[in-house]
């Protein structure tokens, strides 16, 4: 009996020695991998498949993509507020930052400004001003005319600005005559400064003084690069959006002006179609306020 017990004990001892040997071998291999790879004992295969490497590569890719600066485009849509509703709802359905210029003193001025604000669009006043030529009725009510004195202009501008809720700036509706006259533009821009507004020169004349006066008064300003729909043709509008992209990719930013109203449902459709094309080129759509300085 004693001999059988000693025999079993010997086998247990052999088994323990084998276990200890295996453990020692595995520990040595673990330590070797730790030294070789410097990764707290991770094996080469586990390191190769490690999510840490994949995450690191993704971070590098992300940082590289952040270094690529997108060109920025602001699209301003004029003539909100009028009775002709063509294109209004289509513009309001575009899911990108757009800036809507609302004419004051019209039946839908407040309504359009409120709808645009609710949907997250930026709002400016589309201030009517007398042109060099053209019918005065095209200005709409509350326009700034050549025969006004300084105080008349100030009061009219204040009234017009108050007619468009949520506005943060203004641009000129028509106004080739007014914008070319420093004595007429100065009181307009002084009121804008008092209101904390920025200014967009729609550039209806090459003789415009808007930007130069704005800069002298310290008012954030910008000027239009492209009219998008001066020809009421769908293919032409798309072509003008391509021109806008080219300008933006060349100089970093660009500002385009389109319209709602007669024939301008096509403008909204052209913008919607061109958005993915422009974004694929690296264009970022921004509010006008991002591009004034």
Q: Is the pLDDT of residue 107 over 60?
A: yes
Tens of pLDDT, residues 124-140: 999 999 999 877 778 89
Tens of pLDDT, residues 279-291: 999 999 999 999 9
pTM above 0.85, yes or no: no
CATH number for the region 71-290 comes to 3.20.20.370
Per-residue pLDDT at 15 = 55
Q: Is the pLDDT of residue 150 over 50?
A: yes
Q: Is the pLDDT of residue 69 over 90?
A: no
Per-residue pLDDT at 262 = 79
Tens of pLDDT, residues 44-57: 233 223 333 233 33
State the average pLDDT over residues 4-20.
53
Bridge partners of residue 84, in order along the sequence:
none
More confident residue, 31 or 225: 225
Q: Is the pLDDT of residue 142 over 90?
A: yes
For residue 264, what pLDDT band results from cuts at 50, 70 and 90? confident
% of the chain at pLDDT higher than 90: 73
- 174-184 burial, b at 16+ Cβ within 10 Å, e below that, comes to bbbbbbbeeeb
Q: Is the pLDDT of residue 10 over 60?
A: no
For residue 252, what pLDDT band results from cuts at 50, 70 and 90? very high
Contacts 24+ apart (CB under 8 A), 9-16: none
More confident residue, 146 or 18: 146
Per-residue pLDDT at 18 = 57
Domain boundaries, the chain: 2-64, 71-290
**Residue (of 72, 61, 121) closest to 244 by Cα position:** 72
Per-residue pLDDT at 20 = 54
Tens of pLDDT, residues 151-201: 999 999 999 999 999 999 999 999 999 999 999 999 999 999 999 999 999
Please give the mean pLDDT across all residues of the chain: 84
């Amino acid at each position: 009996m004693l001999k059988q017990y000693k025999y079993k004990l010997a086998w247990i001892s052999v088994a323990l020695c084998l276990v200890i040997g295996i453990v020692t071998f595995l520990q040595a291999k673990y330590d070797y991998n730790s030294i070789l790879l410097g990764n707290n004992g991770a094996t080469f295969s586990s390191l190769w498949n490690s999510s840490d490497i994949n995450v690191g590569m993704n971070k590098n890719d992300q940082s590289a993509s952040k270094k690529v600066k997108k060109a920025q485009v602001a699209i301003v849509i004029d003539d909100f507020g009028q009775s002709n509703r063509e294109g209004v709802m289509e513009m309001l359905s575009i899911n990108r930052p757009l800036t809507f210029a609302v004419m004051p003193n019209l039946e839908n001025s407040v309504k359009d400004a409120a709808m645009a604000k609710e949907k997250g669009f930026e709002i400016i006043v589309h201030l009517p001003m007398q042109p060099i030529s053209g019918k005065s009725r095209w200005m709409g009510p509350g326009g700034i005319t050549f025969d006004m004195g300084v105080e008349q202009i100030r009061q009219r501008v204040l009234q017009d600005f108050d007619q468009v809720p949520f506005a943060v700036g203004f641009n000129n509706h028509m106004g080739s005559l007014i914008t070319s006259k420093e004595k007429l533009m100065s009181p307009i821009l002084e009121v804008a400064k008092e209101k904390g507004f920025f200014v967009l020169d729609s550039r209806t004349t090459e003789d415009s003084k808007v930007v130069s006066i704005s800069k002298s008064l310290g008012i954030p300003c910008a000027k239009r690069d492209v009219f998008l729909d001066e020809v009421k043709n769908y293919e032409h509008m798309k072509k003008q959006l391509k021109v806008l992209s080219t300008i933006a990719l060349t100089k970093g930013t660009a500002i385009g002006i389109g319209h709602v109203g007669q024939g301008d449902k096509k403008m909204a459709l052209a913008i919607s179609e061109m958005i993915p094309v422009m974004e694929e080129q690296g264009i970022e759509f921004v509010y006008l306020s991002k591009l004034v300085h």
